[in-house]
C-alpha cells in the first residue's frame, strides 16, 4: 500500500459553509500541515456538503474508490468529519482502504480495532454463559446433542468458506469495473492503444489488483474480462 499518496476528504454540514469556505479552509490547512509533516502528497481532494448523521455520501464513496484505484490512504482533518456512526466507520475499515485523521493519527484505526475487540469479548462472554447453561442442563439429566445440528454446523462452515471466496471475487470485479471506467474516460480523450492506455493508467497512479504497474498484457487482459462480463 502506497501510504505516501493521500486522498483528502473534507465535509461541511451546510451549503452555506460549502460556499463560504467556512470550516473547509481549516480542514484543508490541517490536511496540508499533516502531509508536510509526514512527507506525503495529497493526490486528490473530495468535498462533501452533508450532515454528520447521513451515511449516504457520494463524495466519500468516490474518495474511497480513488484510494482503491491508486492504493492510497484516505486522510481527514478530524475523525468526526466522517460520521458520528461507529457502524459507518467500521464500514470504511471493511472497504480495505486505510484512513487517518489529522487530529489523532495514531489512535483512529486503533479505536476501530478496540471496538472489534470489545465485540469479540462480548461474543466470548455469551459463549461462556451458553456453555454454563448447557452444563447445568446436563447435570439435571437433560439430553444434549443432535446429529442434525452437527450437519448444520458443517453446512455453516461451508457457507463461510463460500462467502470468503465470493468476497474476493466481488472485490476483483469491483476493481476491474473501476479501472474500466477510467479506461473509458481515457478513450473518450483519444487514448486508444494498449501501450497508450497502460502508460495513462500508470500516470494516473492507478495500479493493477496486485498493486503493480500496468503493461499492455495487463490492459488487454482486463479488456477481455470486461467484454466477457458485458
Where are the chain's structural domains? 5-105, 147-229
Neighbour order of strands in the sheet with 5-12: 41-49, 5-12, 73-76, 99-101
User: What does each C-alpha distance from 74 to 8, 65, 221 come to in angstroms?
Assistant: 6, 10, 29
Task: Name the architecture of domain 5-105.
Answer: 3-Layer(aba) Sandwich (3.40)
Model-level pTM?
0.60
Which portions of the chain are predicted below pLDDT 70? 1-3, 14-22, 50-56, 80-91, 107-120, 123, 144-164, 167-168, 228-230
Q: What is the pLDDT of residue 18?
A: 47
Q: What is the pLDDT of residue 200?
A: 92
Comparing CA positions, the residue from 214, 95, 105 lying closest to residue 223 is 214
Q: What is the pLDDT of residue 1?
A: 44
Amino acid at each position: 500500500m502506497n501510504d505516501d499518496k493521500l486522498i483528502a476528504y473534507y465535509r461541511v454540514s451546510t451549503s452555506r459553509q460549502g460556499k463560504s469556505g467556512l470550516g473547509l479552509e481549516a480542514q484543508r490547512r490541517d490536511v496540508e500541515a499533516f502531509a508536510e509533516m509526514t512527507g506525503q502528497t495529497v493526490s486528490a481532494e473530495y468535498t462533501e456538503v452533508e450532515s454528520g448523521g447521513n451515511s449516504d455520501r457520494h463524495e466519500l464513496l468516490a474518495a474511497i474508490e480513488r484510494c482503491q484505484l491508486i492504493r492510497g490512504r484516505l486522510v481527514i482533518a478530524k475523525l468526526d468529519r466522517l460520521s458520528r456512526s461507529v457502524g459507518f466507520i467500521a464500514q470504511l475499515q471493511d472497504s480495505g482502504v486505510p484512513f487517518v485523521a489529522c487530529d489523532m493519527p495514531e489512535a483512529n484505526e486503533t479505536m476501530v480495532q478496540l471496538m472489534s475487540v470489545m465485540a469479540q469479548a462480548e461474543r466470548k462472554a455469551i459463549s461462556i454463559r451458553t456453555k454454563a447453561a448447557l452444563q447445568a442442563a446436563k447435570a439435571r439429566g437433560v439430553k444434549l446433542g443432535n446429529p442434525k445440528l452437527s450437519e448444520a454446523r458443517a453446512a455453516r462452515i461451508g457457507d463461510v468458506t463460500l462467502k470468503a471466496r465470493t468476497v474476493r471475487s466481488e472485490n476483483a470485479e469491483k476493481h476491474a469495473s473501476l479501472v474500466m471506467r477510467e479506461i473509458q474516460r481515457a478513450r473518450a480523450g483519444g487514448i486508444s492503444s494498449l501501450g497508450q492506455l497502460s502508460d495513462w493508467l500508470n500516470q494516473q497512479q492507478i495500479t493493477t489488483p496486485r498493486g503493480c504497474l500496468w503493461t499492455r498484457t495487463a490492459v488487454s487482459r482486463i479488456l477481455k474480462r470486461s467484454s466477457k462480463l458485458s
